[in-house]
Chains A and B, each alone.
Chain A
Amino acid sequence: MTTLQLKNIVKRYKSQTVLDDLTLDVADGERLVLFGPSGAGKTVLLRLVAGVIEPDAGRVLIGGEDMTDVDAEHRGVGMAFQNFALFPHMSAFDNIASPLTATKSSKEKIAAGVQKVAKLLKIDHVLTHHPKALSNGQKQRTALARALVGSPPLLLLDDPLRNVDAKLRFEMRLELPRLLAAQGATVVYVTQDYKEAMALGDRIAVMASGSIRQIGTPQEIYNAPADIEIARLFGDPTINLLDVTPQRGGEGVFVELSNVRVRLADYGADVVGSPCVLGLRPEAISFVDAAAPGAIPVTVEAETPLNEKTVTLALTARGREILVSRPAGTPGPTAGPAHIAVNGTQAFLFDKTSGALLPRADLAAKRNGEAA
């Protein structure tokens, strides 16, 4: 276990700034997920920590020690690559053993170490194979085994599940937290998949265009995304975003959707009258009877049954597209006219010009009371 500190890291490629004055602290034993779209600079950041890329400015501290000018082989980190980066001319055994051979350990020690981690990752039967002869899943496990075998105090995982099939990704998503916990290492995990981020991270750092936009627990980010972009990235199906102008009525702040008032109990008078974007998670919307209070008429366009939920695409009277999510197996309309109701307490308001999340009047109270 060790800590990782990045201080004011800047990295440029030609005129393009890939990392822009980035500062990040990872606590001892913490699992931090770097989440963001491709091109956000996640992989560059990870390589910078590993020492194979040098920053143009800023310091990298591992375990409190300044490692900025230390070569990669002396930083003592483990890393798994998105494209596995296995050595094609070596057997799986030699691939996994490579961090141990560097330490000049005895043959028996190396064999024992490789066997142990191979058994843990269930690849002990393919150790004699070359990468060419391994399935994608086995390659991925071999790459992971190579990163784990030396028990490095800092583990860097660059989207290791990106190139494996959905079934394996699901299995590994369940297995990895246990595996990483057993290692006891500080982990920096890069992913573009918000579910992976939610499942694996103690904290999530959301990156976009070279800087960290928001950092917090998975719940914090899901329930209070700092801006529209983060809200859009985080969640599947994606959040519904509607242009609105909050107004004040007798019972508090409300917005009008298709001439129906939706009360936003959490927001104060300060948002009234300014152009905003309303963010509605698909699960904050439900189908209701026409007679129900606050029912908004819509036309159901299409339905996508996913295994654990059903996602419906509906059109409002003004032709705006709305995604509605409900648990699989619960009844709902499949076509034609229907009505929806919006849970105003689960809605977000973003400033239309800056995209920033507008603070709620009682944010702290709400965070405790609500689950994702």
Chain B
Amino acid sequence: METMSPLERILRGLALTLVVVFFMFPIFWIFLMSFQTNETILAIPPSIVFSPTLSNYAALITGKLQTAAGTLDIAFMSNLGNSIFLSVASVAVSLVLGVPAAYAFARHKFKGSEDIAFTLLSFRFAPPLLVLLPLTQYFQWLGLSNTYVGLIWVYQLICLPLILWIVRGYFEDISADVEYAYRIAGHSWLATFRKIALPLAGPGIAAAGLLAFIFAWNNFVFALVLASADKQPVTVGALAFVTSSGIQYGQIAAAIVLSVTPTLALALYAQRYLVEGLSLGAVKG
């Protein structure tokens, strides 16, 4: 690394701090809000000094929301469970389907393979609201509306193209010679896929899986329309905090903190693979 003058170092540090504060402040503020009551949150001027309360979390976990109008039932914990189940299952299905498909697109150029791959990518272009109406109709005919299977199926629109196209790039970056060498050594194509291609694209697959997980987790509109209360993820469930007697900012903040935690934990855990995976493609050879 180049040597920097002290002034340069200070300025650089300052700039970095500014960026971090800018991006982290909302999360930090929400974290603080989650320990406050609605009254302290809405107090003017806002104060950073308050007596912390766990009432928001207690309300979420017990599912009983106290409002001025009385007690409301909140299905937040089951929403959280739904989110985890839907995201994990969707990504799992996408990986099982997408990784072999990505390998096929990367290694076996057949007639129309580019067209198929592009069609799959084009699912990402369509605005969700455009496909929702016909989708709802079809799902009602098929009896898939308000089922986990139906939701996971629809989530493939989000996860599958993502995994397919990212992982395909990683497979293409593996030198074909390495795979040829394994074939010539006497191993079948399936063994080559399992023992050579999969391990070498591993970081990329992990990165793509994580990204797909985040996208699935953040999805709102599909679940809003296609799922009823008992199947809804947190993104939809959060609407319940907009009550007739006002918006429950404290509970919303606590809900956000809880719903961000799984993705954050996953991202922190997979950070190593993520950086490795996302930079692997940059250096060929």
Contacts and interface: CB of A to CB of B under 8 A. Distances in A.
A234 interface: no
A73 B185 CA distance: 6
A85 B186 contact: no
Summarize B's interface: helix, strand, loop or mixed: helix
Contact of B185 (A83, A88, A89, A99): A99
Interface string B168-190: 00000001011011111111110
B175 A83 contact: yes
Contact of A79 (B175, B181, B188, B191): B181
Nearest to A94: B195
A134 interface: no
Contacts of A83: 175, 177
Contact of B186 (A47, A73, A87, A89): A73
Given A87-B196, A89-B199, A72 B177 contact: no
Interface string A76-99: 111101010111110000000011
Contact of B183 (A73, A81, A88): A73
Contacts of B181: 79, 81, 85-87, 98, 146
Summarize A's interface: helix, strand, loop or mixed: loop
A77 B200 CA distance: 25
A282 interface: no
A70 to B, nearest CB: 12
Contacts of A88: 178, 200
Given A83-B175, A88-B200, A50 B180 contact: yes
B178 A85 contact: yes
Given A72-B180, A75-B184, A99-B185, 17 more contacts: A52-B184, A71-B189, A72-B183, A72-B184, A73-B185, A77-B184, A78-B184, A79-B184, A87-B182, A87-B196, A88-B200, A89-B199, A89-B200, A98-B181, A99-B186, A102-B185, A150-B185
Nearest to B177: A85
A259 B178 CA distance: 59
Interface residues of A, number: 26
A51 interface: yes
28 contacts: A50-B180, A52-B180, A52-B183, A52-B184, A71-B188, A72-B183, A73-B184, A73-B186, A73-B187, A81-B177, A81-B180, A81-B181, A83-B175, A83-B177, A85-B177, A85-B178, A85-B181, A86-B178, A87-B178, A87-B182, A88-B178, A88-B200, A98-B182, A98-B187, A99-B185, A102-B187, A146-B185, A150-B185
A72 B177 CA distance: 13
Contacts of A98: 181-182, 185, 187
Contacts of A16: none
Contacts of B191: 102
B179 to A, nearest CB: 8
B170 to A, nearest CB: 13
